[in-house]
Chains A and B, each alone.
Chain A
Amino acid sequence: MQVPAPFEYERATSVDQAIGLLERLGSSARLVAGGHSLLPMMKLRLANFEYLIDINPLHAELGYVKIQTDEVRIGALTRHRELLESDELAAAFPIFRDAERVIADPVVRNRGTLGGSLCQADPSEDLSAVCTTLDARCVIRGSAGERVVSMEEFHVGPYETAVGDDEILVEVRFPRRGGHGSAYEKVERRAGDWAVVSAGAAVWITEGRIVDARVGLAAVGPNTTGIPEISDTLRGNAPSEALYEQAGAIAARSCDPSTDQRGSADYKRHLADELTRRTLRKAVERARS
C-alpha cells in the first residue's frame, strides 16, 4: 500500500490566508491543488512535507478563464476539464484544446489544474509547453504583492520554479495578437501517458507573412523552453513547407532528449523535427481560416 508520510492537513480559506500559512510554516509546507502529481510523489516518499495546505476551496476565486481583447487570463486553479471545455479559449488559442485532449485522462482532468501543472515543472508536462509556446506570463503573489514573470524565468529547472516558499501562483496571462493560429501534437505510447515527445506551435500572420512564431517542446530535455532560433528563422517570411522543414531541423538539433523506456534519443529528435513541422503547418492553416 502506498501512503504518504504523516503530515498536518490545513485548508485554505483565502489566498491571503494561504500566504500567511506559508510564511509561518516555510519550506515545511506545500500547497496542494488537484494533487495528481504531488500525492503520487508523496506516496512514493519522493516528496515529504510536514504541512499540506489544500487550496481547492479557493476554486471560486482562482478558477476562471477571462477572455479580454488584449490578453487571456486564466486562474491557477482552473481545472484541465474546464480548459478543455471552454469554447472561448479554443477560439482564442486552439492549442489549448489540442493539448487538453491528450493530457492524462478524463477523470484525472476533473482534478488537475493549470497552476499545479506549471508548479510541478515536470519537463514532460504538456501545459508548460503550451504556456511557453504562447509566451505566457505567470502572476506570483506573496504578502508584499504580485510579481509577473515570463515562462523562461518561471522554470528554474526540473521540478523547480520561481515561486518562493511563501508565494502562490495565482494567474497565467496570455497576450493576444491578430492573425493567430496554434496547434499541439503529442506522441504517446498509450492514452493518457506522458509524452514520448510533444510540440506546440503558435504563429501570428499579417498580410501573408509570419510576424511572429513560437515553438515549445516537452519531454526532450531538462526544461520546457522555447527555441528562439526557430522564431528568428520564421519571422518575416511567407509560410512554406521549406520553412517548416528548416524549423523542424532546428528543433531536432536544439533539444536534448535522453534514451529511456519511451524511446531512443535519436527517435525523440526525429519526433521533435516531425511534430514541429506538423504543428507549424496546422497553426498556419488555422491562422488563415
Chain B
Amino acid sequence: MQVTMTVNDVEVTREIEGRLLLVHFLRDVLSLTGTHWGCDTSNCGTCVVWLDGEPVKSCTVLAAMAGGHEVRTVEGLAKGGELDPIQEGFMQCHGLQCGFCTPGMLMTCRALLDKNPDPTDGEIREAISGQICRCTGYATIVRSVRWAAVHEAAVTQ
C-alpha cells in the first residue's frame, strides 16, 4: 500500500506493507535513525515521536496510521542549526549518559514544555513516567527540563 505523511515538515510518500510499524518506517525507510527502537512493547519510550503534535510510542503505531498526519522526530527539533532549548538543557545539565533514551525523552519533554512552560519536578517526572533511562539518570533529566523552562522564560521576557 502507499502511504503519504509529513515528517519534520517534509511530505514523504512510500510503498509499504500494512504491518510496518512507524518506528521502522522512520528508521529503515526514511533513514531517520535519531528515533531509537528499544523494548518493542510500548514500555521504554525511546521510540517516542510526535503524531500531530502529541507524543506517541512509534513501536505501537502503524506507519499506515500516520498517513495524512504530521510526524515530528528528534531530527526535527533543532531549527536552522540552532538546538532547541530542551536539547541545550540536556547538554548543560548532563541529561544523558549513554544517550539511548534521549530522543524519546527530548520529544516528551518538549511537548510538556509546550503545554506547561513552568512544570514542577513532580510534573516532569509524571510526564516521563512511561519512559525508561537505563542509566537511571532521572535526576539530571528533570534538572535539564527545568533548565530549558527557566531559559525559555528568560528569553520570552
Contacts and interface: CB of A to CB of B under 8 A. Distances in A.
Interface of A: 1-9, 11, 32, 35-36, 39-40, 42-43, 52, 54, 56, 104-108, 110-111, 191-192
B11 interface: no
A189 to B, nearest CB: 13
A110 B56 contact: yes
Contact of A106 (B42, B62, B67, B129): B129
B136 interface: no
8 contacts: A1-B40, A2-B40, A4-B19, A7-B19, A35-B60, A35-B65, A107-B131, A108-B42
B131 to A, nearest CB: 7
Contacts of B106: none
Contacts of A32: 62, 65
Nearest to B54: A110
Contacts of A106: 55, 108, 126-127, 129-130
A192 B127 CA distance: 12
B60 A105 contact: no
Contact of A9 (B18, B21, B108, B127): B18
B129 A191 contact: yes
Contacts of A52: 18, 62
B149 interface: no
A111 B62 CA distance: 12
B19 A5 contact: yes
Contacts of B67: 11
B48 A107 contact: yes
B85 to A, nearest CB: 21
Given A5-B19, A7-B19, A108-B42, A35 B130 contact: no
Contacts of A42: 19
Contact of B40 (A6, A43, A111, A191): A43
A35 B65 CA distance: 10
Contacts of A5: 19
Nearest to A56: B65
B66 to A, nearest CB: 10
Given A43-B40, A192-B129, A107 B18 contact: no
B113 interface: no
Nearest to A2: B40
Given A43-B41, A56-B65, A104-B130, 7 more contacts: A3-B24, A52-B62, A54-B62, A54-B65, A107-B130, A108-B57, A192-B130
Contacts of A2: 40-41
Nearest to A104: B130
A107 B19 contact: no
Given A106-B129, A192-B130, A111 B56 contact: yes
Contact of A54 (B55, B64, B127): B64
Contacts of A54: 62, 64-65
B132 to A, nearest CB: 10
B153 to A, nearest CB: 23
Contacts of A40: 41-42, 60
A269 B41 CA distance: 29
Contacts of A191: 129-130
Top 3 closest pairs, chain A to chain B, by CB:
A105-B130, A9-B18, A191-B129
